[in-house]
Amino acid sequence: MKTFDITYFDGKTSGAYQGTLTLAYAHWDIRIVLADGAIKSIHWPLKDIQPSEFMGDTNTFKYGDFPQETLECTDPALDEALRETYPYLNFFKKEYYWAIKKGTGTFLLIIGFIIALGWGVYQYILPEIAAVAAMTVPQKTEISWGETMYHNMIEENNEQSPLQYTVDDSLSVLANQFLHKIDFKTNYPLHITIVKEEQVNAFALPGGHIVVFSGILKKVKTKEAFVALLGHEATHVINRHSLKNIFKSVAGYLFVAFFTNDINGVSAIVLDNANNLSNLGYSRKLEAEADANALTIMENNKVNPNGLLHLFETLQGDSKFAPPALLSTHPLTEERITFAQQHIHQVKNIAEHKDLEIIWKQIQSQLKKENTLQKKGKSAK
Amino acid sequence: MESNQSNDNYHLFSFNGDGLELFKIQIVNWLLTLITFGFYYPWAKAASLKYNYQKTIFSGSPFIFHGTGKEMFKGFLKLVGIIVVFYAAIGILSLLGSRIFMVIGMIVLYAGILFAIPFAVHGSLRYRTSRSSWRGIHFGYRGERRSLAVLFLKGILLSIITLGIYGAWFITDLRRYIIKHIRFGNLTFEYTGQGGDFFWLRLTGGFLSIITGGIYLPWFVVDLYNYFLENIKVTQNGKPLVFENNMSGGSLWGLLIVNFLITICTLGLASPWAQVRTFKYIAQHIWVEGEFDANALEQTEEAYKDATGEDLADYLDINLI
Ligand SMILES: [Zn+2]
Ligand SMILES: [Zn+2]
Ligand SMILES: [Zn+2]
Ligand SMILES: [Zn+2]
C-alpha cells in the first residue's frame, strides 16, 4: 500500500507535524512525528473526512468538526491513489474535478453552446414570455404607465430639452377632432399629439397616446391615408403591441444584465430606453397585424381602404432621398405592400365623409400657414 | 520533508492559480448558473473563492475557504428578497403618480440602504473571516454590529456636512475599528493610519491624477496601498510584524494595460487570466517582515453561523476594509 508524505495540523495550534498518510480500508492512517521524536498514530474514518476543495499542487483535507484537523499533501500521485482505493468516493468536487481534467476543446464547445442557447432564449423564448406578461397588466395600469411615459417625453412648459418633443397645439386639436370622428371599436382612450419634428415618424404609447411627427403629416396626401396611419398606430395601442414591445426590451435588458452580473446598470438602461420608445421597432408579425386591422377599421368606417396603399407609396417614395424613421420602427417590406394589395377587395360601400374632409382641409391650411411662418422666420434671420 | 518555509525574517506570499483552470471553473459556474436560472450563483461564488484561497500560499501553506454554497444561498435568498422589495416599492411609488410621494419614497428607500450597509459589512466580515483558515487556524472578526453602525452613520453624516472632506477621517476610523477587531489565532492587528495624513495623500494624489489626465493614477493607487499596508501593525507574542511591498506605479501600469487588452480583445472570456495575473502580481509584491513563528498560532475563534452579509456586501459592491 502506497504511503504519502504529508503535513498535519491538529486544529488547536498552527504547529506543523511532518508525517505520512496511508490509504486504508474505510479510513486513513496518519503517522506524525511529535516534538519529542515520538510517533503518533491518527485514525481518520472516511465518513468524516471532508472533500478537499480542488485538486491542485497542494491538496488539503479536513477532518471532523470545528476546529478541524487538517492535512496538506503535495504529492501529485495522491489523486490517482484516491480514485483507485476508493472508486466510489469523490474527494474533489466532481463537476470541477471533471472540468480541470478535461481538454480545452470541450470548453470551446461549451462556450459555443452557451452563446447559442443564450441567443435562442433571448430571441425566441423571452419575447413570448414578455408578451404573455404584458397581457396580464390591467388596462387601468397600462393607461397610467402610458400617461407617465407621455408626460416624460412631451414638453409641457416649453422648457427646451433635447429628449422632449414640442407639441404643435393647433394641429393637435384638429387631429384629435379628426381622430374622434373615426370609430376604432375600442375602450382605450385614444388621443393624438402632433409634435414639431421634421422626421417622417409616428409611434404609439401603451394606453392610448399616439404621437405623430409633423414631418409625416406633411407627406400624407389624403385623408384616407391619414385614417390608415391612425388605424395602424391605434392597433399598436389596442392590441398592446407597444406594451409587449416595452416588456420585451426590458426583459432583454434584464437577461443581458443577469449574464453580465450588472444589476445596478439595468435601471439606468431601462430608464434611458423608456425615453427612446419611438425607436423601438416592431416585429413583422405585429406590423402585419396592425396593417390588417387598419384595413378593418377603414372598412368599418366606410373609408376607402386604398388609403393604406397611398400611405405606403408616400413612405416608399420618400425613402429615395432619406429613409423615413417610420420605416425603421415599422419596417415597410414588400410583403406589407403585397398584403395590402391583396386585401383591398371591397372598394364599394364608401361614404363621402364631408366632416373628415373639412377637418383634413383645416389641417392642410394650418400646415401651410406654419410653413410660411417658418420660412419667414428663417429669412428674417 | 521540511515544508518550504520562507527565510526567517521574510515571509512570502505566492499565488499558484492558473488562468486556464480558473477559466474552466468559471465555465462550469456559468453553465450551472444558467440551467438553474441563477440559483447556483452562491455555489459558483463559493467555488471561485475556494480556488483562489487554495492557490494563495503564505509561508509554504495554502489558505482554505470553508464557506459553502448552501450557507451563502440563505444570504443570497434574503438579498434577492430585499432587491425585489426595493424595486416593487419603486414601482408602487411610480404608480401613485405623485411627485412628492416619489421623492419622499426614494429618500426613505435610499436611507434604508444606507442603514443596511454597516450591517452588511459586519455580517460579511464575520462570515468571511470565520470561513478563512491557514494551517487549520481560523480567522475571526470580533467587532460589534452596533458600534460599526454608529461609526458608519456618524461618518456619513459628517462627510455630507463637510462636503466629503471628512471622508478621509471616516475611512481611517472604519479601517481602525475593523482591523483592530480582526483575529488570527493569537495575532493582534492594529491600524495606525491618521485621517490627516490620509486626507493629504488623497488630495495630492487625486490632484496629480487629474492634471496628468489619469497617467499618475497607478502611482496614486500604489501610494494608497503602501499607506494602508504600512499602517497595519501585527503583533505576535509582543513581537511586531509588518507588511512590506515593492509595487511601483510603472509595473502596475503594465499589469493594468495588459489585463485591459486581453479582457477587451476576448470580449471578457480571458478575464480569468487577467484575474490570475492580478493575484500573482499582488502576491509577488507583498511580504511580511519580522520574527513570525508559523507554528505558534493558537485556535482562538469559535464556530460562527450566518451568511447574510456575504451576498449583501457583494451586491452593494463594498470593498471590505
Ligand atoms: Zn488503520
Ligand atoms: Zn393623456
Ligand atoms: Zn407599426
Ligand atoms: Zn364620417
d(CA B150, CA B193): 20
Confidence of residue A298 (pLDDT cuts 50, 70, 90): very high
Q: What is the mean pLDDT of residues B9-37?
A: 88
CA of A160 to the centre of ligand 2 (A): 21
Is B226 part of any domain? yes
Is B158 part of any domain? no
The answer, for A66 touching chain B at a CB cutoff of 8 Å, is: yes
Is A123 part of any domain? no
Cβ neighbours of B34 in A, within 8 Å: 114, 117-118
> Do residues A291 and A241 lie in contact, with contact meaning Cβ atoms separated by under 8 Å?
no
- Pairwise CB contact (< 8 Å): A58 & B30: no
Q: How far apart are the first and last CA of chain B?
A: 38
> Do residues A177 and A366 lie in contact, with contact meaning Cβ atoms separated by under 8 Å?
no
Is B209 part of any domain? yes
Is residue A67 reached through a cis peptide bond, with omega within 30 degrees of 0 on the bond before it? yes
| Ligand nearest to the Cα of A298, by number | 4
CA of A142 to the centre of ligand 2 (A): 12
Q: What is the mean pLDDT of residues B211-230?
A: 89
- Pairwise CB contact (< 8 Å): B137 & A56: no
> Do residues B46 and B25 lie in contact, with contact meaning Cβ atoms separated by under 8 Å?
no
Confidence of residue B112 (pLDDT cuts 50, 70, 90): confident
Q: What is the mean pLDDT of residues B155-182?
A: 91
Q: What is the mean pLDDT of residues A198-227?
A: 89
- Number of domains composing chain A: 2
Q: Which amino acid is at B46?
A: A
Confidence of residue A266 (pLDDT cuts 50, 70, 90): very low
Confidence of residue A160 (pLDDT cuts 50, 70, 90): low
**Of B71 and B312, the one with more pLDDT:** B71
- Assess whether A87 and A9 both reside in one domain: yes
Q: Which amino acid is at B2?
A: E
- Assess whether A142 and A92 both reside in one domain: no
- Pairwise CB contact (< 8 Å): B295 & A13: yes
- Pairwise CB contact (< 8 Å): A53 & B54: yes
If you count residue pairs, one on A and one on B, with CB atoms under 8 Å apart, how many are there? 119
User: Which has the closest alpha carbon to B285: B234, B235, B229?
Assistant: B229
Cα torsion A312, A313, A317, A318: sign: negative
- Assess whether A55 and A154 both reside in one domain: no
- Assess whether A61 and A208 both reside in one domain: no
Confidence of residue A151 (pLDDT cuts 50, 70, 90): confident
Is B198 part of any domain? yes
**pLDDT on residue B7:** 52
Beta-carbon contacts of A217 under 8 Å, excluding residues fewer than 6 positions away, are A171, A175, A194, A226, A363, A367
Encode pLDDT of A233-251 as tens digits. 999 999 998 888 888 877 7
CA of A42 to the centre of ligand 1 (A): 8
Q: Give the three-class secondary structure for A299.
A: helix
Encode pLDDT of B89-102 as tens digits. 877 877 776 777 77
User: Residue A257: pLDDT above 70?
Assistant: no
Q: Are strands A191-195 and A209-213 parallel, antiparallel or unpaired?
A: parallel
Domain span including residue B211: 193-230
Is A131 part of any domain? no
Confidence of residue A326 (pLDDT cuts 50, 70, 90): low
Scanning A17-36 for CB atoms below 8 A from B yields 18
d(CA A160, CA A238): 32
Cβ neighbours of B21 in A, within 8 Å: 100
DSSP A282: P
User: Which of A7-11, A155-159, A336-340, B277-281 bottoms out in mean pLDDT, i.e. has the lowest?
Assistant: A155-159
- Pairwise CB contact (< 8 Å): B30 & A10: no
The answer, for A176 touching chain B at a CB cutoff of 8 Å, is: no
d(CA B134, CA B61): 7
CA of A156 to the centre of ligand 2 (A): 12
Residue in B with minimal Cα distance to A13: B298
**pLDDT on residue A98:** 81
Angle in degrees, 0-180, between the axes of helices B195-211 and B217-230, rounded to the nearest 10: 170
Is B223 part of any domain? yes
| Residue B174 distance to chain A (closest CA, Å) | 25
d(CA A337, CA A231): 16
**Grid cell 487556524 in the structure block, residue:** B137
- Assess whether A199 and A325 both reside in one domain: yes
**pLDDT on residue B2:** 39
Beta-carbon contacts of B288 under 8 Å, excluding residues fewer than 6 positions away, are B10, B11, B58, B234, B241, B242, B243, B244
CA of A357 to the centre of ligand 4 (A): 9
Beta-carbon contacts of B72 under 8 Å, excluding residues fewer than 6 positions away, are B42, B43, B45, B46, B307, B310, B311
The answer, for A119 touching chain B at a CB cutoff of 8 Å, is: no
Is A120 part of any domain? no
Best residue in B14, B24, B312 for a mutation probing chain A (most A CBs within 10 Å) = B24
Scanning A82-111 for CB atoms below 8 A from B yields 93, 95-96, 99-100, 102, 104, 107, 110-111
Is A359 part of any domain? yes
- Assess whether A85 and A153 both reside in one domain: no
Mean pLDDT taken over chain B: 84
Strand segments (E) across chain A: 3-9, 17-24, 27-33, 39-45, 49-50, 59-63, 69-73, 191-195, 202-204, 209-213
The answer, for B25 touching chain A at a CB cutoff of 8 Å, is: yes
User: Residue B169: pLDDT above 90?
Assistant: yes
- Number of domains composing chain B: 1
Q: Give the three-class secondary structure for A92.
A: coil
Q: How far apart are the first and last CA of chain A?
A: 100
User: Which has the closest alpha carbon to B149: B184, B131, B176, B122?
Assistant: B122
- Assess whether A187 and A51 both reside in one domain: no
Q: Which amino acid is at B29?
A: N
Beta-carbon contacts of A381 under 8 Å, excluding residues fewer than 6 positions away, are none
Is A55 part of any domain? yes
For residue B165, which phi and psi values (nearest 5 degrees)?
-60, -40
d(CA B114, CA B109): 9
Residue in B with minimal Cα distance to A151: B97
Full-model pTM: 0.67
| Ligand nearest to the Cα of A31, by number | 1
**pLDDT on residue A142:** 92
d(CA B66, CA A22): 25
Is B17 part of any domain? no
- Assess whether A7 and A77 both reside in one domain: yes
CA of B99 to the centre of ligand 2 (A): 17
Quote the percentage of chain B above a pLDDT of 70.
91
Domain span including residue A330: 138-380
Is A23 part of any domain? yes
| Residue B266 distance to chain A (closest CA, Å) | 13
Query: What is the phi-psi region of residue A33: left when phi exceeds 0, alpha when psi lies from -120 to 50, beta otherwise?
Result: beta
CB atoms within 10 A of CB A276: 11
**pLDDT on residue B321:** 35
**Of A157 and B185, the one with more pLDDT:** B185
Cβ neighbours of A143 in B, within 8 Å: none
Quote the percentage of chain A above a pLDDT of 70.
84
What CATH number did the domain enclosing A81 receive?
2.30.29.30
**pLDDT on residue A235:** 94
d(CA A50, CA A171): 77
CA of A173 to the centre of ligand 4 (A): 18
Encode pLDDT of A63-97 as tens digits. 988 788 999 998 988 888 988 898 888 888 778 88
Is B225 part of any domain? yes
Q: Give the three-class secondary structure for B185.
A: coil
Smallest Cβ–Cβ distance between B295 and the set A16, A70, A110 belongs to: A16
User: Which has the closest alpha carbon to A252: A242, A266, A239, A238?
Assistant: A266
Smallest Cβ–Cβ distance between A67 and the set B2, B31, B299 belongs to: B299
Beta-carbon contacts of B63 under 8 Å, excluding residues fewer than 6 positions away, are B53, B54, B56, B57, B132, B133, B134
**pLDDT on residue A163:** 56
User: Residue A143: pLDDT above 60?
Assistant: yes
Is A293 part of any domain? yes
Is B218 part of any domain? yes
Is A47 part of any domain? yes
